Amino acid sequence: MGADHYDEGRVASVGVTRRRGAGEEGRDEMTTTTSPKGKTLERNLSNKEKAIELWCNVKHQLVEYSALPEYLKDNSFIVRYYRADWSFKHSLYSMFSMHNETFNVWSHLVGFFLFLGLFIYTVVHMPGIVDPETLERWQSGVIMEKLPSYLQLPEALSSCVPGTFDGSRCIQKPITRGPFLVFLVGAMYCMLASTTCHLLGCRSAMTFYTLMRIDYSGIATLIAASFYPPVYYSFMCNPILCNMYLGMITTMGIFSVCASLVPVFQTAEYRNVRAALFFSMGISGIIPCFHKIFLYQDDPMAYQALYNEIYMGIIYAMGALVYATRIPERWKPGMFDIIGNSHQLFHVLVVLGAYVHYRGGLIYLQWRDVKGCPLS
């Protein structure tokens, strides 16, 4: 019995040694073999992770127009490469991938940085203004008798270098750049609002409608802000006319922004109404433009500024036309899904028109820096 017991112990000992050796060579295999519940749990977790990964990949695939939720169905002539119900992370990163909104995002993002650079440049080179003490000292003199009745003293003397007025003339200094900065801020807001809308609008219906309202308000803001430089610098010597025109365009701008925030305004049925509203705002600028020519018909700079405004108006009108008619994608549905469709052309024309307007503003600044306001 002792020998049998010894042999059994030896066999058991050898078996343990062999099992330990096998465990050292494949410890993970032994663990999973001896733990069936852990193995099942690992399989379940692995399957869940794979399912989540698969779902994310499927969810963030580009889809066709027919597969879109209703809130994203706007232009049936753009057939493919849509994003729908994407997460914030995937929507944000999609600016570096190719889809039918990529060009819309980058065209106005580049436009935003363009006008941001112009804004910084203008602020850095902004001249000073006449100090209030000098104006108060002038007001106590005899110059009030030499001023036309429709002029106010601060406006008339704001372009004079302090201490240089001799009763009828003075050394001119650059005029305020405030109205010019209003236009640049309006352009930046429009570009940034548009970029955000086209980049993140695919997240959900609530996000889409909120960003669309902001986008339309940006368009209205740009149109209204574009009037400030030409109106102010054309009529700065006549405060009554200046305030009247600026008040009119500001009122129209506020109305258009408020209309843009109404939910029904952003539906596809009101597409032509939106285009007509923005177009009418732009057309209203004809009145002060021709009034300016009537007042300064002998000044070549006035005509130069007018030609620039006509050029800008043509560009904006072309943008409104392609936006409303959806040309060229209506001629060849599916051909212009990625590049060349009407909304992308509209974006390019908006940036181009705003830049032309900036160049026109420089003409106004040069004109008023040289001429100023007449004192007699």
Residue with tokens 């993002």: 109
Which two structure tokens, joined as six digits, stand for 59?
């969810």
CATH number at residue 283: 1.20.1070.10
CB 188 within 8 A of CB 354: no
Boundary-marking domain end, from 41, 74, 92: 92
Same domain, residue pair 240 and 121: yes
Q: Residue 155 falls within a domain, yes or no?
A: no
Same domain, residue pair 181 and 33: no
Q: Residue 70 falls within a domain, yes or no?
A: yes
357 is in an annotated binding site: no
From CA 93, how far away is CA 48, in angstroms rounded? 25
Same domain, residue pair 326 and 187: yes
Report the SS3 class of residue 82.
Answer: strand
Q: Residue 344 falls within a domain, yes or no?
A: yes
Same domain, residue pair 83 and 192: no
125 is in an annotated binding site: no
Q: Residue 52 falls within a domain, yes or no?
A: yes
Same domain, residue pair 208 and 334: yes
DSSP of 226-277: HHHHHHHHHHTT-HHHHHHHHHHHHHHHHHHHHHHTSGGGGSGGGHHHHHHH
* Structural domain total, the chain: 2
Same domain, residue pair 212 and 123: yes
At CA 344, angle to CA 342 and CA 345, rounded to 5? 65
Its pTM stands at 0.74
Same domain, residue pair 87 and 180: no
Same domain, residue pair 30 and 120: no
343 is in an annotated binding site: yes
Write the CB contacts of 102 (distance below 8 Å, at least 6 apart in sequence). Answer: 94, 95, 338
Residue with tokens 């009030």: 144
Same domain, residue pair 88 and 26: yes
Q: Residue 207 falls within a domain, yes or no?
A: yes
Tell me the residue length of the chain.
376
From CA 29, how far away is CA 27, in angstroms rounded? 5
Give, for all 376 residues of the chain, the pLDDT tens digit: 444 444 444 434 444 344 444 444 444 444 444 456 555 656 655 665 655 555 455 568 999 999 999 999 989 999 999 999 999 999 999 999 999 999 999 999 999 999 999 999 888 876 544 344 444 444 444 444 444 443 444 545 555 555 555 555 555 556 788 899 999 999 999 999 999 999 999 999 999 999 999 998 998 899 899 999 999 999 988 889 999 999 998 888 888 888 878 877 777 777 777 777 777 777 777 889 889 999 888 888 889 988 998 898 889 889 888 988 999 999 999 999 999 999 999 999 999 999 999 999 988 888 887 776 765 4
Residues of the domain holding 78: 2-92
Q: Residue 153 falls within a domain, yes or no?
A: no
Same domain, residue pair 64 and 213: no
CB 281 within 8 A of CB 287: no
Which two structure tokens, joined as six digits, stand for 249?
């365009």
Same domain, residue pair 300 and 254: yes
Boundary-marking domain end, from 42, 71, 92: 92
